[in-house]
Amino acid sequence: MSERVEFWRDPIMDRLIEEMIDIFKLEGVKLVRLSGLTRKAQSMTGKKDLNANAIHSIVLKLHDANVVNYNCILNCPHCGETSYCIEDFNNQIKLCDTCNTIYHLSEGITMQKGGL
């Protein structure tokens, strides 16, 4: 006889994850910034200790489960901003949307194709 395992779900986190999925699926969205997702998560949940690493982990899990799609992850070497690029990004340079610094895209350093 197998024992049943009951999982507790948090409706606030469920709503947050649904919102994150919707952001990635919005028509016309080409780039999603981790800092924006983190601020949105903190605002929606009221949890100021919900940090960028936790949100990044959620995005990676959603990507691995084919729930959200992006072509690459960009990391600005100057300010550290992480962005999920939804459309193909074939340029060799990028202007950071956060710090307005131009940086070279180098696979494995400032750009990871398809996730980490």
Supply the CATH number for residue 107's domain: 1.10.10
Q: In the structure, what pLDDT confidence band is assigned to residue 4 with cuts at 50, 70 and 90?
A: low
Cα distances (Å, whole numbers) of residue 37 to 18, 58, 92: 12, 11, 26
For residue 2, is it within any domain? no
What percentage of the chain reaches a pLDDT higher than 70?
91
Is residue 115's pLDDT more than 60?
no
Which range of residues forms the domain containing residue 58?
11-113
Average pLDDT of the chain, as a whole number: 88
For residue 78, is it within any domain? yes
Q: What pLDDT, on a 0 to 100 scale, did the predictor assign at position 90?
A: 72
Domain count, the chain: 1
Interatomic CA distance for residues 110 and 95, integer angstroms: 12
DSSP H stretches of helix in the chain: 11-25, 34-45, 52-64
Interatomic CA distance for residues 105 and 95, integer angstroms: 10
Is residue 94's pLDDT more than 70?
yes
For residue 1, is it within any domain? no
14-57 residue pLDDT tens: 999 999 999 999 999 999 999 999 999 999 999 888 999 999 99
Mean per-residue pLDDT, 70-98: 89
Q: What pLDDT, on a 0 to 100 scale, did the predictor assign at position 6?
A: 59
For residue 21, is it within any domain? yes
For the chain, how many helices (H) and strands (E)? 3, 6
For residue 101, is it within any domain? yes
For residue 3, is it within any domain? no
For residue 58, is it within any domain? yes
The closest alpha carbon to 94, from 39, 34, 31, 35, belongs to 31
For residue 48, is it within any domain? yes
